[in-house]
Structure 1
Amino acid sequence: MYYFLDVFGYFAAKWNNISLADQIIEDHWYLFKDNPVGMKALAYLYQTLGNNEKAHELYKEIFILRPNYAQSYRDLALSYADVGDYRKSASIYARYDYLVAEGFIRAEDKEFTPLMEREFSNLLELHRKELTSTETKKGPSLNSDFEGTRLVFEWNDSEAEFQLQFVNPNDKYYNWEHSLLADPDLIRIEKLKGYSCKEYLIDGSITGNWKVNLKYLGNKSLTPAYLKATIYHNFGSKSQRKEVKVFKLQLKDVNQELFKVQNSLSLVSN
């Protein structure tokens, strides 16, 4: 399966031969069917190509396979917004809130809950006119006290272990490690509640060139993992825009630069 993901990326990204890349996946769909880890990696790749419709179909399939995963609701809600169906996106968020309140999904925690609420609020602020009054009844926005660049990291395999490093323009850095050794409680909660994502907010108080580095620590399943980074510029404003980058994690214990982001100037390089 991972070989065909590489082949897909080669023809789609390097040669811009989308039809051939799609045909390769269709011919080997049996490797992806019923495999949410593989389908999520493929969805990431489609998003980097700007093909939100193909990614959306994959996220719907993943939702069917993982109906009790908190991440499934987030991914599907964002995907509906990406294809322009804002009302359906809002209904997924509302459905998620209801299931959490009723105890059907155990996802209330300090990591995932604020992220979901921030994204729901962002949807309502940017697309309020397209939504009904029932769906827009929400509490105070989590975005009102934040101006700057928002980074969201997602990984397709919950077994992936890595360290993210954020270096500000003054060369001060912060490390966040996703591993069983560094934070066993977090890993346990992620698996229990079914999510695999992390956000990092860069407010406007420190402008300039930020760097994001990563050290891959391995994967218990002994297979490559895929990391998706979504960069939101001017988050929460009418001028908000986003970029999606995907990285295949394979080389272990090497600190590598993923990308740079120019806070407040809305520039990203790799």
Structure 2
Amino acid sequence: MTNKLILFLFLIPIYFFAQAPQNLDYKTVSGFINYKNKPLENVSIFVKNTIRFSVSDTKGSYKIKVKVGETLSFSYVGLEKIEVLIEDVTSILNIDLKIRNTITQIQSGKVIKLGETNIGEYKDISLITKIKGSELNENGLSITKAIQKKAPFLLIRYNDYGEEITYIKGKEMNGPVVWVIDNVSFDIPFDIFILEVKEVLIFNYDKKRPVITVNTNIDYKKVNDIDFANYYFNDSDYYNHDAISYKKVRINYPFLDKYKRLKPKEAFDLYKKTNAVDKNITNFYFTLFNTYKKKKDSKPFLLNILSDFESMSFDNPEDLKAIAYKYLEINEKQKALEIYKKLVKLRPKHHQSYRDLANAFLGSKKYRNVWLTYRYFFKKGFKIDDNDIGEIITSEIVSTYNLDSIDRTNLPKIKIENSYKNIARDVRIVFEWNTTEAEFIIEFVNPNLDVFEIENSLVQNQGLIEDQKKKGYTSKEIFINQLNYGNYLVNLTYLGNKQYKPTVFKITTYYNWGRPNQTKKTAIFDFIQKDKKFQLLKLNRRFLR
């Protein structure tokens, strides 16, 4: 097995260079452009840094020639401009334009990480941080911004009203900070002149909301134009139980009518007769798979469905990745592994390709093959970047090093000195999805109903999406260091993927991460319904037993 892996990795460059000339070819990208679910005419579509352009017609339809690596720009007066980097698989781009949001534009999006933070992974921060008022920039845009300049471990987010909500990076699950201004508690600080501040104290707690205390020289007898009641959260700032259980998702496909009441063997016989026609139906294979995956004696049928779809999608890495997820859903680890090998060949420049292959070996405790994969990754000049896939690779290399306690092969291991990755946690969650065009919002809810959201979208953070495409990754890890009593919820609102087929998510939850009793649970979710919030996970302390 090991010799085959070495030969496989050796052949990757040969395969890549044989495929390289295709990147110079023009391809046609087409789709529809909508605004508020209605076709939008006269949208300008430009290929950046070229003279090629197109304009949408009365049906919102467009078509344009592009090359892989070029960027398409969609613009319309008064609406948010969208720019999309063209990939090897790009052929359809259905664009939903939205009105310009000045609140969104305030958010810089300069940090190339989903949510602009490593959730649950905080650095060494003192229990108390003291800042003198004289140390603050008196020209700061707000008291929050001025304090953040001196305390970069603070994360500022904006609510729907443009108000600044403050968190400590890595402790987002604890909830936003409580502001105590001259011995009075607030959820949001009222406007304070920087010159009025005498001292700031930041209290960094382990299990509860952090506190920022601000002492000022304000003469409140002269203050009569502030309604202090406006600086507290109301019900809309907390979770209002508006997520639908994913188990209740129901989408009616007409082709399923003929499968009603059929047992797996009967359905298999019907499938073999009608597959030649039905295979062209959008999401045919996965819909049929999902319909029968929990039925008794359905395994042969499910394997045939996935095998047929795999044959059809032999050169489509997005579909293949989703098929690998489905194989894992029915515990076919070896078949998933074979697909991950194909993905390394199809996308040898994508960091995620190597991580997924190494992770498949790690799941089977084939540590030697994990090291071979990552050693090849580094040998080809790749490095661990300060982005989401870099965080995941670091976590899993550290984990492999700790798990591979007996070296039977004399193969040099890879040791990463990172104290933050070598800490045992109650929970680690890894989110993966099969296409870089997927846009969504993940909502985390703690037992106190405090909400923290991360949004993967072009409007929110175009730099992040471009980094995902250029480096080749679609994943995010988060940690919950200590589960408090009560339920933690993970909800997802799907915003679309500019295509007609669904986005498939793989979510792996590790309990007791880094401890001898570590366990994991993998769940697969298909999303095609947009703008609805679904509850995916409910976590609590009973899973730690």
TM (norm. structure 1) is 0.90
- Quick one: distance in 2 between partners of 1:92 and 1:125? 17
Give the counterpart of 2:405 among 125, 128, 135.
Answer: 128
Instruction: Tell me how far 1:219 sits from its aligned partner.
Output: 1.1
Q: Greater RCO between the two (CA within 8 Å, min separation 6)?
A: 1
- Quick one: distance in 2 between partners of 1:144 and 1:29? 38
- CA RMSD in angstroms, aligned pairs only: 2.1
Give the counterpart of 1:34 among 311, 315, 323.
Answer: 315
CA contact (8 A) 1:9 1:21 kept: no
Instruction: Tell me how far 1:244 sits from its aligned partner.
Output: 0.4
The Cα offsets for residues 127-149 of structure 1, whole Å up to 9 and x where unpaired, read as 22156554334132543234220
Report the CA distance shift for 1:138/1:107 in structure 2 as closer, same or farther (over 3 A).
closer
- Quick one: distance in 2 between partners of 1:15 and 1:205? 36
| Secondary structure class of the residue paired with 2:452 | strand
Matched, 1:43 2:308: no
Q: Which structure 2 residues correspond to residues 1-270 of structure 1 after superposition, within 5 A? A: 2-99=283-380, 102=381, 105=382, 108-130=385-407, 132=409, 134-141=411-418, 142-204=420-482, 206-262=484-540, 264-266=541-543
Partner amino acid, structure 2, of 1:170: N
- Quick one: distance in 2 between partners of 1:267 and 1:10? 32
- Quick one: distance in 1 between partners of 2:337 and 2:447? 36
Structure with the largest fraction of helix: 1
Instruction: Tell me how far 1:53 sits from its aligned partner.
Output: 1.2
CA contact (8 A) 1:107 1:193 kept: no
- Quick one: distance in 2 between partners of 1:181 and 1:131? 50
Structure 1 residues 171-180 or 75-84, which shifts more? 75-84
Partner amino acid, structure 1, of 2:416: G
| Secondary structure class of the residue paired with 1:91 | helix
Gaps of at least 5 residues in structure 2 are 1-278
- Quick one: distance in 2 between partners of 1:26 and 1:69? 24
Instruction: Tell me how far 1:89 sits from its aligned partner.
Output: 1.2
The Cα offsets for residues 84-114 of structure 1, whole Å up to 9 and x where unpaired, read as 3221012212222333xx3xx4762232212
Report the CA distance shift for 1:149/1:131 in structure 2 as closer, same or farther (over 3 A).
farther
Structure 1 residues 10-19 or 229-238, which shifts more? 10-19
The Cα offsets for residues 197-225 of structure 1, whole Å up to 9 and x where unpaired, read as 00111111634321000000011123210
- Quick one: distance in 2 between partners of 1:200 and 1:170? 19
Report the CA distance shift for 1:3/1:197 in structure 2 as closer, same or farther (over 3 A).
same
- Quick one: distance in 2 between partners of 1:10 and 1:20? 11
CA contact (8 A) 1:128 1:136 kept: no
The Cα offsets for residues 180-237 of structure 1, whole Å up to 9 and x where unpaired, read as 0111110011101000000111111634321000000011123210011000000011
Gaps of at least 5 residues in structure 1 are none
TM (norm. structure 2) is 0.46
Structure 1 residues 24-33 or 40-49, which shifts more? 24-33
Report the CA distance shift for 1:16/1:160 in structure 2 as closer, same or farther (over 3 A).
farther
| Secondary structure class of the residue paired with 2:406 | helix
Partner amino acid, structure 2, of 1:238: P
CA contact (8 A) 1:106 1:193 kept: no
| Secondary structure class of the residue paired with 1:56 | helix
Count of residues paired in the alignment: 263
Instruction: Tell me how far 1:61 sits from its aligned partner.
Output: 1.3
Q: Which has the larger radius of gyration?
A: 2
- Quick one: distance in 1 between partners of 2:544 and 2:331? 18
CA contact (8 A) 1:165 1:173 kept: yes
- Quick one: distance in 2 between partners of 1:96 and 1:266? 35
